[in-house]
Amino acid sequence: MAETALITGASGGIGEEFAKLIASKGVDLVLVARSGDKLQRLAESLTAAHKVQVHCLALDLSTPSSAAQVESFLESKKLSIDVLINNAGFGTFGPFVESDLAGELGEIQLNVTTLTHLTRLLLPAMVRRGKGRILNVASTAAFQPGPMMAVYYATKAYVLSFSEALANELKGTGVTSTCLCPGPTSTGFNARAKLGSGGMLSKKSVMMEAATVARRGYDGMMKGRRLVIPGLLNKMLAHSTRMGTRGLSASIVRRIMDGIRSSR
């Protein structure tokens, strides 16, 4: 029987690239995202190219009931999940004091709560079967505080810590937990966060392609790696935070963000 992978945020960017890559391995898919039309078009192309079954669920995962709705969908289709990729997420840019509270709470719901809920719903069956893989997409933002994107950086710090703790708990079960921490990537993230495309975000040497990030994440997941940081520059930046104080890290991020803000 073919394995089945569930991918959130699958209608574009890194999630779409994960779907293409995993389908090419003959794995059936459950794709979840807000855009039903985009999901359906992707599903049709993947089914035609790789002869896999692709189930689509158009759903806003930033709502409190969303994880339970995913569970009901899987039960209705009698699907068990072998691979869970928690990729969906978004960020907001600007001073927290001026932010839209509903947007910030929705960001926490999606980036933290729904990710945690889906993992808790699907993990027990993986452990019972003695096999399974979980990949949570965080960010290099997870390694330091992020002024001007305070909530986003904090949510990704949670994802990193949660994923690494799971990796330790799951040793010997046959189930693995991998955290993917990409740096700036060519996706729709910047547009939704209203970051614009100026400053460092205009430098091609800084931005990675979504397909490259997905490939690095997939390879790391298949090897059972705890942490994947794609790209030498991203690795250096992530680990450099250990060399200074967290206050210094926050100041550096603030200078970068101010540069981005002035270029918008």
Query: So what's the pLDDT on residue 62?
Result: 97
Which tens digit of pLDDT belongs to each residue from 106-115? 999 999 999 9
Q: Are 53 and 28 in contact (CB under 8 A)?
A: yes
Dihedral in degrees, nearest 10, Cα atoms 58, 62, 66, 70:
50
Q: Whole-prediction pTM value?
A: 0.89
Catalytic residue annotation: 152
Does position 260 have pLDDT exceeding 70, yes or no?
Answer: no
Query: So what's the pLDDT on residue 204?
Result: 54
Which tens digit of pLDDT belongs to each residue from 72-108? 999 999 999 999 999 999 999 999 999 999 999 999 9
Does position 261 have pLDDT exceeding 70, yes or no?
Answer: no
Residues 6+ apart with CB under 8 A from 201: 184, 190, 195, 207, 260
Task: Name the amino acid, one letter, at 154.
Answer: A
Does position 220 have pLDDT exceeding 90, yes or no?
Answer: yes
Say how many C-beta atoms besides its own lie within 10 A of residue 96's C-beta: 13
Beta-sheet pairing, 83-86 with 227-228: unpaired
Domains and their CATH numbers in the chain: 4-263 (3.40.50.720)
Query: So what's the pLDDT on residue 246?
Result: 74
Mean of the pLDDT values across residues 203-229?
A: 91
First to last CA, the chain: 51
CA angle at residue 13 from 209 to 22, to 5 degrees? 90
